[in-house]
Amino acid sequence: MILNKIFNTFKSHSPKKAIIKLLIAFAFYLDANPTYNKIKRFFWRLMNDDSFIYKKFFDSFMLILVLISVGILLYDIKHQIHPLLEDFDYYFITGVFLIEYLIRVWVYNDIHKIIIQEYEEATFLGREFDLKKVIKEIIAKKWEYIKTPFAIIDLLAILPGYRPLRIFRIFVIFRLFKLIRYVRSINTFIEVLANKKFELIILLLAVTFVTFIGGAVIYVFEAHANPKITSLFDAIYWSLITISTVGYGDITPVTPEGRILTMILIIVGIGFISFATSIIATAFAEKLEQLKAERVVREAKSMENIYLICGYSNEAEILCERFKKENQDFIVVDINEERVNKAINKGYIAMKGDVTDREFLKKLNIDNISKIFVLTNDDIANAFMILSLRFLQKDIIALANNEKNVSKFQRAGAKFVVVPTIVTALLIYEYIGHPITFEVIDAILTERKNAVIDEVIVIENSILDGKLVGEIDFDKYKLLLFGVLKNKSSDLLNETFKINDKHFYFNPPFDLRLEAGDILVVMGYSVSVNYFKYLVERSSI
């Protein structure tokens, strides 16, 4: 069928027009083909996206191949290798390197988009499709990648596998250079140096200038008196060794002028080394914050159901301790570096940043954020963050340091607002009026006696789904049922109060039927609650 269409195309048009028509049709086919785009996207991420999980395995695999290939080629210089190893290097390793190179050239850009762009321009302007222009642009785009340093290294790394030409063995060094692609720390080091390129170039020029001047001067003083300095090259070599403070001792000055020059060059060399050290140390210090932020972003992308904690206040610190005990994923974000470091020292995932910046939020995998806690001690900052975060349409729990701001926070978009002063006052009142009750509540909240109040969700087709409350033997599980939160009210009992448009039944009747999505509030030892949750989850499978 396809062959017939191609044949008819060539039959009804000139060869050039037929080729153009087929190219355009094929370009539109590739552009609209989800399978092709998915495959190309996969390979692009495999080659370039450090956050792609499969890239880590690919990099490790390529790293092992590079080391094996270098070992084989180096061993082959003075030894006779086994034919199987030779074939493994020639066919498999070199083949993998060649395929990787071709894939990188392929995914660098989209040829079909160039064809489509030229077709759309030609149609819009009413001119003929320029095939030569398209070919030139395709070649130019591919050449743009081929001439990059990494692409040259990849190409030269393939050549040592061609054994008939022994001279290609010299290119084995480029297989070692391929390690730069797959070892992230080497890439980081190169990036740090690249960021200080201007300072390092200035330093290199200064070292070159002083080396040449020192070599020229020592050559004038020592050329006729020192038998070890017979040429200007020897003098420059001595000057560089002296400035670097290495001092091999193979060339030493014999004249007083030469020795004075040596002392001067040593002092200058120490200054150069100190300057270079300060440049690199500063660059790494600047890079460190970026690396920390990147680490948090990578960890955030691997998390699900994330709690975002904005502001590391005293309340946030206590909350983080509880989340950590419950193995709840959370990220702490604060604009104060000192507070961020305090959270990091506690072992939490934290980073410096402004949550009101949408570009910053995009890096944090906002799709997986389920709840947001705004917990700074500044009500103005809290209100601004609530307004900025409401577009995420997530549950926002905020801290209000002044009771007057509660209604403002709620209008801004906060779902729950907590006033620490009111909570503290109520606890003090409870302690004064009911000290025993207070001790019980305190023990439960702090888990001092290993007693907890927790929520159990009714999962569809589980042992709770469709059951009446009276049919569940909570004593058997050593649990006490406080209440049930249902999506809709029941005619069985009118004494309910609403929580987020849901109806909470305190001490529910035995004939209250449970449904998927309902939440049971239970109290018991943590081991009992966790075991009950496990039974509910397992029964739903």
> What SS3 class is residue 419?
coil
Q: Same structural domain for residues 37 and 164?
A: yes
Mean pLDDT of 167-192: 66
Looking at the structure, tell me whether residues 165 and 214 fall in a common domain. no
Domain match, 52 and 176 both:
yes
Tell me what the mean pLDDT of segment 295-300 comes to. Answer: 70
Q: Out of 171-175, 221-225, 456-460, which region has the weakest mean confidence (pLDDT)?
A: 171-175
Question: Residue 245: is its pLDDT beyond 60?
Answer: yes
Sequence-distant (≥ 6) Cβ neighbours of residue 387 within 8 angstroms:
412, 413
Model pLDDT, residue 438: 56
In this structure, the answer to whether residues 158 and 233 fall within a common structural domain is no
Q: Which pLDDT tens digit goes with each residue over 111-154?
A: 888 888 888 888 887 788 888 888 899 999 999 988 888 888 88
> What is the pLDDT at residue 447?
54
281 and 313 share a domain? Answer: no
Measured distance CA(108)–CA(117) in Å, rounded:
17
Cα separation, 223 vs 111, whole angstroms? 63
Count of domains for the chain: 4
The residues facing 505 across adjacent strands are 484, 496
Q: What is the pLDDT of residues 201-219, one digit of tens each?
A: 888 899 999 999 998 998 8
Same domain, yes or no, for 171 and 27?
yes
Are 316 and 405 contained in the same domain?
Answer: yes
The answer, yes or no, to whether residue 77 has pLDDT greater than 60, is yes
393 and 502 both lie in a single domain: no
- 437 located within any domain: no
For 302-327, what is each residue's pLDDT tens digit? 677 888 888 888 888 888 888 887 78
Residue 191 pLDDT level (bands cut at 50, 70, 90): confident
Residue with tokens 């439960």: 444
Residue 279's pLDDT band (cuts 50, 70, 90)? confident
Helix or strand holding residue 398 (H, E): strand 395-399
Predicted pLDDT of residue 386: 87
Q: Are strands 369-374 and 306-310 parallel, antiparallel or unpaired?
A: parallel
Residues 63 and 24 both lie in one domain: yes
**pLDDT per position as a tens digit, 348-358:** 888 888 888 87
Mean pLDDT of all residues belonging to the chain: 79
Question: Are 69 and 147 found together in one domain?
Answer: yes
pTM, two decimal places: 0.51
User: Which pLDDT score is estimated for 6?
Assistant: 45
CATH of the domain at 316: 3.40.50.720
pLDDT at 103: 92
Nearest-angstrom CA–CA distance, 46 and 54? 6
The tens digit of pLDDT for each residue in 11-58 reads 455 667 778 888 888 888 888 888 999 999 999 988 888 778 888 888
Indicate the residue among 243, 258, 287 that finishes a domain. Answer: 287
User: Domain span at residue 283?
Assistant: 197-287
The angle subtended at Cα 198 by Cα 192 and Cα 201, nearest 5°, is 100
Query: Which CATH number does the domain housing residue 230 bear?
Result: 1.10.287.70
pLDDT at 165: 47
Whether 428 maps to a domain, the answer reads no
Are residues 8 and 130 located together in one domain of the fold?
yes
By percentage, how much of the chain surpasses pLDDT 90? 4
481-517 tens-digit pLDDT: 878 888 765 554 445 555 556 677 877 888 888 888 8
Q: With respect to residue 296, please indicate whether it lies within any of the assigned structural domains.
A: no
Is residue 76 domain-shared with residue 112, that is, in the same domain? yes
Instruction: Identify whether 439 is part of a domain.
Output: no
Among 60-74, 300-314, 355-369, the least confident range = 355-369
Residue 438 domain-assigned (yes or no): no
CB-count burial class (<10 Å; 0-12, 13-18, 19+) for 88 = middle
